[in-house]
Amino acid sequence: MKFSKFSANFDFWLIAIPVLLAVASISTLFSITSVTGKTNLATDQIINFVIGFVFYFAATAFDYRQYKTYSFYMYLFGIAGLIAVVFLGQTVFGSTRWINLGFIQYQPSELMKFFTLIFFAAFLAEKKMSVKSIVLYLVMSVIPIYFVFNQPDLGTALTLIAITITIFLTAKPPKKVIATVLVVLCIAALIGWFGLKPYQKERLTTFMNPSSDPLGSGYNVNQSKIAVGSGGLTGKGFGNATQSQLQFIPVAHVDFIFSGWAEATGFVGSSAMVVGYVLLLWRILVTASRSQDKFGGLFCFGVTGMIVFQIFVNIAMNIGLAPVTGIPLPLVSYGGTSVLTTMLILGTVQSIYLRQRLLKFD
């Protein structure tokens, strides 16, 4: 493939928006860590994005159609990573999610998002909607969700559920099947409540009434809401965002980074970020609609479901409209594996867009 032909058919927005979100992430991290002098988080995030863009362009250059051949092996590799966490993982704040590789804290559950998108998109692209295939789909989707849920990592488990449901519904199963699956999910949710850790149940009850324990379980949400509200229309600026800079918001670099951005840039900056996400989702949906094979379309719709779910839950929990579940804001929250995985996924979307445009030249 000639470079000129490659660049001429590139989707500009699919690369421009991640760049802008990277700038927003790094700026916010510098702001919230400058007072304490711990600017290493921002520096690390710069490195994460440099490597992330390498992943992005590598995924773009790779013909996404080849993934179908290896989708099952990728799924098995992802499951192996989740099993490895049980034996080799490091426990932080009561959760065992990471494996220390020396140069990076590898989080297999994050990369499992990419493997889930690939495997289940390939699975439904090749199989008919028979009872056997649907049961197999449900069983194989439960396996990674089970391992992630027991780390425990409720946020990522819910994200995997969002991916598998989106891909399943996009494949247009019979209405009776949809109704049956919804009933099963409702029953599973009721059973799952009893499997939640005490702190997870506390987060859900706090969401219903955050004022019940303002200095305990409701502290994070209340401080986040104060930060968002104090940003006003245009924000305090990155050097004056006292609520986030003075560390009133715990885990401000991951779960509550949106409140730090909102305090510094105000309603204008918050709206701009949301508009950026909407544009990104629009381009992914355009890619899905133009895909000339079912695999590419299902993958893009799955990506849409994943990003919509993460954005909605993260922003909603920052303003007190959803319980705290530890779901990162895509490409903005601090995190090595999270950034690399998202860039890998978006690079694959770009690969789909590019090859649908160049299909006539293949």
76-87 pLDDT per residue, tens: 999 999 999 999
What pLDDT is stored for residue 362 in this prediction? 46
168-217 pLDDT per residue, tens: 999 888 777 777 777 777 777 676 666 666 655 565 555 555 554 454 44
DSSP run (H or E) holding 100 = strand 95-100
CA distances for 172 relative to 125, 144, 197, angstroms? 11, 23, 35
234-268 pLDDT per residue, tens: 888 887 766 665 455 666 777 889 998 998 899 99
CA-based nearest residue to 109, from 68, 146, 56: 146
What pLDDT is stored for residue 361 in this prediction? 42
Residue tagged 């989106």 (tokens): 166
Handedness of CA 219, 220, 226, 229 (dihedral sign): negative
CA-based nearest residue to 14, from 278, 342, 283, 277: 283
pLDDT beneath 50: ranges in the chain:
36, 212-213, 215-217, 246, 361-362
What pLDDT is stored for residue 37 in this prediction? 52
What pLDDT is stored for residue 23 in this prediction? 96
3-state secondary structure of 198: helix
Domain count along the chain: 1
What pLDDT is stored for residue 215 in this prediction? 47
Phi and psi at 235, nearest 5°, equal 90, 165
Range of the domain at 132: 3-361
CA angle 95, 96, 101 (to 5 degrees): 135
pTM: 0.89
CA-based nearest residue to 301, from 136, 55, 125, 94: 125
